[in-house]
Amino acid sequence: MSLEFVECTKKFKNNLILDKVNFKISKGLFNLTGRNGAGKSTLLKMISGLDKKYSGNIIANNKSTLYLNVDPIGIHPFTIKENLEILWNTFNITPSTKQLSKVNDFFDDNLDVSYSRASTGMKAKLGLSLIFVKDWETILIDETMSSLDSESIDMLAESLVNLSAKEISTIIYVSHSMVNVHLKDNSSAICIGEGNLSWKNMQS
> Residue 170: which pLDDT band, with cuts at 50, 70 and 90?
very high
CATH number at residue 192: 3.40.50.300
Q: Say whether pLDDT at 203 is over 60.
A: no
Task: Tell me how crowded residue 89 is: count the other CB atoms within 10 A of its CB.
Answer: 10
> Residue 204: which pLDDT band, with cuts at 50, 70 and 90?
very low
Q: How far apart are CA 99 and CA 193, in angstroms?
A: 38
Q: Say whether pLDDT at 144 is over 50.
A: yes
Q: Supply the pLDDT for residue 202.
A: 58
The residues, ordered by sequence, that sit 6+ positions from 105 with a Cβ below 8 Å of its Cβ are 155
What average pLDDT does this structure show over 74-101?
Answer: 96
- Full residue range of the structural domain in which residue 95 is found: 3-200
Q: Supply the pLDDT for residue 55.
A: 97
CA 83-87-91 angle, to 5 degrees, is 170
What average pLDDT does this structure show over 162-177?
Answer: 90
Percent share of the chain, pLDDT over 70: 97
> Residue 168: which pLDDT band, with cuts at 50, 70 and 90?
confident
Mean pLDDT, all residues of the chain: 93
Number of domains the chain contains = 1
Q: Supply the pLDDT for residue 173.
A: 97
- Structure-model confidence comparison of residues 27 and 62, the more confident one: 27
Sign for the pseudo-dihedral over CA of 33, 150, 107, 134? positive
Q: Supply the pLDDT for residue 1.
A: 58
Q: Supply the pLDDT for residue 200.
A: 84
pLDDT tens for 91-137 read 999 999 999 999 999 999 999 999 999 999 999 999 999 999 999 99
What average pLDDT does this structure show over 151-173?
Answer: 93
pTM above 0.85, yes or no: yes
